[in-house]
Structure formats: structure tokens, C-alpha cells
Amino acid sequence: MDTSLLQNQERSAGPDPQIDPGPSSDSYYEPVIEQPNRPLRLKFSPAIEFDGRSYDNLIFDFEDLTAKDFQIVERTFNKTFKAEKGEVVLPEMTHAYQCCLAAYVADDGSGKKGVPPGLIMKLPRRYWTHLRLACLKACGSSSEPEREE
């Protein structure tokens, strides 16, 4: 009987260094978690009219979003956006997805969170650019380089 097979099994009974490298600090990384951002408030001048209602400001708080919220927004996006044949779409990079996300978190002061996506789509450029950057950042994209600390 070949006993070398049994000896090899005994030697490999411990943790496999290729699968479990142990507690060495080189075996994993810890991301730098950013501090929570304050909500974004956009004051509209003049007020924006939509569906018979006037909006003079909206508050966007992205900090309370959960993974489930992002899935809900993605479902809303998928109902409204149709990709071209053969087109690969990264939803969070599209203006349509960002409109859905902003509409989902918007607070108009009525006590009910969320506004119609059409309202967000109606925003003038001077408001949309600030809101779009906040949406990108909420999705993990940012024009700011990541800093090592």
C-alpha cells in the first residue's frame, strides 16, 4: 500500500494557505468608509409646476438607502428604460436611472417620501447637475479620486 497518500492528507489537514491565508494583514483589505453626507436641498426659483402642483424645494437624503431600495429603483428603471438590441446598460450610469433614484428619495415636505420621476426629469440643468452628482456618489461612483488614509 502506498502510504505517501496518507502522509499528504495529514500534512494538508490544516488550513489551506491558498484558500485561507490566515490573519495576515496582506490577505484582506478594509475599505475606507466615508462619513455620512448631509441631505441635499434644492430650492427652485421659480417654483416648478408638475401635475397641478407647485414645488419650491426638494430634499434628497441618500444615506438611509438600503440594498433593497436600490433594487426597487432598478425595477422602476427597468419598467421605463428599454435598451437597444445588443446594448449593454449599466443602469446607475444612465440619466434615467438617476432620475428614478432621485425621485425615490426626494422629500417634498408633504410627509410622504418620493415624488414622480417626471418631476425630476423636468428639472432645469442648473439643478440637475448637482442632483446627478449626488446620485452618482450614492451609487458608488464619483468624480473625486479615492484617497488612501
* Domain range summary for the chain, segments of one domain joined by +: 36-47+54-59+67-78+89-141
Beta strands in 75-144 (DSSP E): 106-107
b/e burial code for range 19-39 (CB count within 10 A of at least 16 → b)? eeeeeeeeeeeeeeeeeeeee
**What DSSP state is assigned to residue 52?**
T
Q: What is the pLDDT of residues 110-145, one digit of tens each?
A: 878 899 999 999 999 999 999 999 999 998 876 555
pLDDT digits (tens, 9 = 90+) for 38-91: 999 999 999 999 999 999 999 999 999 999 999 999 999 988 887 777 776 777
Q: Is 34 helix (H, G, I), strand (E, B) or coil?
A: coil
In this prediction the pTM is: 0.72
